Structure 1
Amino acid sequence: MPHLPRLTSLALAIALFSGVSMMSHAAEIIAPAAAPASDKAPLPLDELRTFVEVMDRIKSSYVEPVTDKELLENAIKGMISNLDPHSAYLGPEDFADLQESTSGEFGGLGIEVGMEDGFVKVVSPIDDTPASKAGIQPGDLIIKIDDQPTKGMSMLDAVDKMRGKAGSKIKLTIVRDGGKPFVVNLTRAAIKVKSVKSQMLEANYGYIRISQFQVNTGEEVGKALNTLRKENGKKLSGLVLDLRNNPGGVLQAAVEVTDHFLKKGLIVYTKGRIANSELRFSADPADASEGVPLVVLINGGSASASEIVAGALQDHKRGVLMGTDSFGKGSVQTVLPLSSDRALKLTTALYFTPNGRSIQAQGIVPDIEVTRAKLTREGPASSLNYKEADLQGHLGNGNGGADRPTSSAKAAQARPQDDDYQLSQALNLLKGLNITRN
């Protein structure tokens, strides 16, 4: 796919986050932006005197000695914590984690989290991690970490407590849908997230799953489309793009993925206060998907970069959105390095879909609402379940061809859509569209 414009004019790393991950998600780190030239308001001298006095009183009167460094770092954290849930001060450890996660490899449990009513709330578990394997779901409230209540705990503090060496144990107390608390025991692991997975659901119908948006996700989706086309032997009749429980990631990756499905038009634009924060991204004429009929799956765990992709495809009527309302995180975070080992993750802009929709606190509404449901298969044929071809002495078929009795039915091979109601409905919709178009 032709190269899309990078954000060099902004000289910032922009990423889209739904919350704070167990070992924060990927972001591209570039040099900090120069301060905009503008008339600054005079310093609030009275408030600064109060700040200095409070700091002096704590140093002289607090029950235990406190260093200037501790007080100043806590002051910075407090200043950022009252802005919005997605802005944060990144100390050396947090900043290092952020840089490491750019490659998609990080340690922890694999949970993307936010805050709600003073508790830690799961935005989404990441595929193939200890959290997803333990059955943790979007919307779960983590009320205790190793028996320590999370009420009143900052999100970064909670994340720090859930971190640890791979192989170490941790106990989370969960409340789901207002029910009774229950305990989940997990083992931390070195998380290696593969952001894109693909396979054929059945002949002519492909499936691409994006678990999060990393730096190389756009390239990986291009390869997946090519692989599915080769595996099918001809152009696909339909494709399911699965963005469920995808908490977001890198803005540029969301743009590149969307561009694989569009030939022209605006993909997303941003608005903010800092210089050059008003960015616009448009599609390239190339279409790696070959215009294949598309169904996009979203749910309450689809956030940020996922919502950019879903919103753009919906506005351009490129695909049918199916599932449930998305998370509603429409702000852009810019990582501003403060030194070699510290940074500020600051909300600097809001993003908008091609039609000018802000997703913030509202989310993307699917074209067809399909909630989760459990699928159960019927058992094998019995004496109460048989066909005409099973009856002794039945007449043959005048049109030719072999009889098809129940006993000759082959055991079906397990497929992803067999246990996933939303996915099965997406596949049925694609088949219906294909029939009516033909």
Structure 2
Amino acid sequence: MRKFQKSLVAVTLLSLLSFANSESMALTIEQPKVVVPNVSEEVIENAATANLPVQQLLLFVNVFEQLRANYVEEVTEETLVNNAIKGMLSGLDPHSEFYDSESYKKVQEFTTGSFAGLGVEVVSEDGLIRIISPMDGSPAKKAGIQAGDLIIKIDSTAVQSIDVAKAVDMLKGEPGTEVVLTIIRESERSPLTIPVVRDVIKTESIKGELIDNEFGYIRLSQFQERSAEEMKTAIDDLNKQAMAKKTTVKGLILDLRNNPGGVLDQAVEISDLFLESGLIVYTQGRDPASRIDFVANPGDILEGAPLVVLINGGSASASEIVAGAIQDQRRGIIAGEKSFGKGSVQSVVNLANGQGMKYTTALYYTPEGRSIQGEGISPNIELLSLNVDSERNSNFIREENLAKRLNKGSDKEQNITTFAQSEKARGLAISDNQLYEALNLLKSLIFVKDVLETQ
């Protein structure tokens, strides 16, 4: 009986996972013989002798047969198997999932830079959907969706009443159609209702700007297939702009706020741009021998110029790899707010009939061996996102404004380094306080560097 059970379980397991099998099969515990097309006797024998959890698999087969035969509505074996696989993966962690042929095609669109939807990176959380970050220029960003928002209702459907994968599918749709999201935001006392019009998302992963003729600013919104190449181009453009102003790029702010991540090798290559040598990141799976190290090559594109990296709670995955490498190698200052903490590696596997699966195989570790998963990257200097009225806060009375003031006693010129600040830079204090403070921090690093070089 034991041998029969193991053979039956082996056959059952193989048949359920064989997407090439197009024939329907009725599987019951009492059935004395099950014929599985396209499975060799050798494969069945190997599976039968493996250390399988027999009782649990028999329980699965029993539930499968009960639902197939007696569920209130007719349901196909394919639907039951697919649902079982979805549950198997989603029950492990928020990032493991099964894709049918249609959803798998959409997954592969992420790195191309053009796709339809709301433009948000999401993760499942207790049956709800958490926004990791909205993409720059996306419908979600324009509608006011923020990193950390928790979606509890899509149109009139409560998210917890449906499968998370189905809820995510409901966010997708034809360009121009509207979806109404009900969200919970930590700073609000009651849920918010936000309508969002779907559109084709054409992402520009990198934007560069020269502030006050000598301070570089690059915004990286996500890691796509050519992000490292685009980063080089953006820095070259900043250098050309500075040369035209008869100056140089004295330092750089790399803005990774609300960057949900993307392609791993691009995170490694971008980190490598700023590092001369040493470890960038390593991955470690269950097997100690599975460790993979990613090491920097000689050459710093900034030639040692000060670097400030801005992060916040919407910075995840690849963003955290870059921030962790820069921080551990003491190459720059990490400023802003603690990052999201998504430090796991997912492998994507092609299955039959255009289907696929994604599951977690390893964790990311910074050069000093810190796990990013669940911890995130803490900034060296915390910069909170604040609303600041610089006009109201800068109306000070100085000595020069006082009547009967004493005149200065000497006209000796003061040899002190100062940084001129344009109206646009001062305006950042109101429009983007974190960037404004990062700019001041960069100036401080440049000042200290200049002082040390002159000593």
- What residue in structure 1 maps to residue 444 of structure 2? 432
Unmatched 5+ stretches in structure 2: 1-45, 414-420, 451-455
Aligned-residue offset at 1:51: 2.0
Q: 1:43 offset after TM fit, Å?
A: 2.4
Over residues 382-428 of structure 1, what are the superposed CA-to-partner deviations in whole Å (9 max), with x where a residue is unaligned? 9x989969x9xxx9999699xxxxxxx99768855651111111110
Q: Deviations over 1:364-390 (max 9, x none)?
A: 1110111110122427x99x989969x
Give the conservation status (yes or no) of the 8 Å contact 1:119–1:152.
no
Q: Give 1:376's match in structure 2, choosing from 386, 389, 414.
A: 389
* 1:166 corresponding residue in structure 2: 175
**1:69–1:189 CA distance, 2 compared to 1 (3 A):** same
What is the match of residue 6 of structure 2? none
Residues matched between the structures, number:
392
Q: SS of the counterpart of 1:93?
A: helix
Whether 1:71 and 2:77 are equivalent positions in the alignment is: no
Which of 286, 296, 299 matches 2:309? 296
Q: 1:187 to 1:331 in 2, by over 3 A?
A: same
TM-score where L is the length of structure 2: 0.79
Q: Which of the numbers 174, 177, 200 marks the counterpart of 1:190? A: 200
1:235 Cα shift? Answer: 3.4
Alpha-carbon deviations, 1:169-214, whole Å to 9, x = none? Answer: 1100111116201210110000011111111122210101111111
Match of 1:180 in 2: 190
Q: What secondary structure sits across from 2:391 in the alignment?
A: coil
Counterpart Cα distance in 2 of 1:255 and 1:370: 26
Are 1:103 and 2:112 an aligned pair? Answer: yes
Please tell me whether residue 131 in structure 1 is matched to residue 153 in structure 2: no
Distance across 2 between alignment mates of 1:252 and 1:366: 23
Which residue in 2 is equivalent to 1:8? none
Deviation at 1:59, TM superposition (A): 1.8
Q: Report Cα offsets for 1:80-119 as digits up to 9, x if no partner.
A: 1111110010111221012222211111101111233332
Q: Distance in 1 between matches of 2:446 and 2:281?
A: 29
Give the aligned CA root-mean-square deviation in angstroms: 3.0
Q: Distance in 2 between matches of 1:302 and 1:180?
A: 26
* One-letter amino acid of the structure 1 residue matched with residue 83 of structure 2: N
Note the C-alpha offset of 1:279. Answer: 1.3
The structure with higher relative contact order (CA 8 Å, sep 6+) is 1
Structure 1: how far apart are the matches of 2:410 and 2:218?
43
Which structure features the higher share of helix residues?
A: 2
Query: Which of the pair has more CA radius of gyration?
Result: 2
For residues 386 and 424 of structure 2, the distance between their equivalents in structure 1, rounded to whole angstroms, comes to 21
Equivalence for 2:282: 269
CA distance in 1, matches of 2:174, 2:289: 41
Q: Any unmatched runs of 5+ in structure 1? A: 1-36, 402-408
State percent identity of aligned pairs. Answer: 47
How many angstroms apart in 2 are the aligned matches of 1:158 and 1:132?
Answer: 19
Matches within 5 A, 1:20-419: 41-177=50-186, 179-233=189-243, 234-273=247-286, 277-339=290-352, 341-378=354-391, 416=428, 418-419=430-431
Shift of the alpha carbon at 1:46?
Answer: 2.5
Question: 1:428/1:290 Cα in 2 relative to 1: closer, same or farther (>3 Å)?
Answer: same
Corresponding residue number in structure 1 for 2:17: none
Name the structure 2 match of 1:25: none
